Amino acid sequence: MILSDRDLKRRLASGSIVVEPLDDPEVQIQPASIDLRLGDRFLSIDGDLAHDVGDGEAFVLAPGGFALGATAERVRVPHDLVARVDGRSSVGRLAVLVHATAGFVDPGFEGVITLELANLGSRPAVLQPGMRVCRIVFHTLTSPVERPYGPERGSKYSGQDAPWTSRLERVQRTGAVATGARR
């Protein structure tokens, strides 16, 4: 089951779900989701170039471009829920994808959510920090998990505070390499 606005407000008030800072609950809490805002730090596709966007500045994603961003909000998912992150339709109508594959948020996750931003359009996309860029939907589990996502199980992205690059390890068989750099 998906949590409704009523359940989201109740769980936020009790601290069971954490989405902070939730600057404008009247706008951000939707009928069955919570809108999340874009943070002000971006990483290029190779993960080596960090861009911190200052007040009033925007991040411009070139046509065909890809960058990592993050939500402005820190999220904590309790052990009895799982969450999905999807782009908002207003952003999708600009030909911007918010995540390539990583829309699933495990029970026990805590941190900002890294966004895989891709511009499928033919014009540059202007991404303003603070804009509502995606939504998070919480689903109930049949029971709380036994081993939640987090440092105790060695989860790779637990506690992230900015966009992090891939933490895949070197693949010996194919010789392919994925960077594990944090920022």
Token pair 């969450």 is found at 83
Out of 26, 116, 146, 152, which one is annotated catalytic? 116
Q: What is the pLDDT of residue 155?
A: 79
Q: How many residues appear in the chain?
A: 183
169 included as an active-site residue: no
Q: Is the peptide bond before 21 cis (omega within 30 degrees of 0)?
A: yes
Over residues 128-177, the pLDDT tens digits come to: 999 999 999 999 999 999 998 887 887 777 778 777 776 665 333 344 44
Above 90 in pLDDT, residue 8?
A: yes
Average pLDDT value for residue range 98-125:
92
Over residues 18-51, the pLDDT tens digits come to: 999 999 999 999 999 999 999 999 987 655 567 7
Distance of CA 57 to the CA centre of its chain: 21
Q: What is the pLDDT of residue 123?
A: 95
Phi/psi region, residue 25 (left: phi>0; alpha: psi -120 to 50; beta: rest), is: alpha
Concatenated DSSP letters for 9-54? HHHHHHTSSEEE--S-HHHHB-SS-EEEEB-SEEEETTS--EEEPP
In percent, the amount of the chain with pLDDT more than 70 equals 87
Q: Rounded CA gap, 72 and 139, in Å?
A: 22
CA-based torsion, 152, 155, 158, 162: positive or negative: positive
Q: What is the pLDDT of residue 179?
A: 42
CATH class of 5-145: mainly beta
Above 90 in pLDDT, residue 101?
A: no
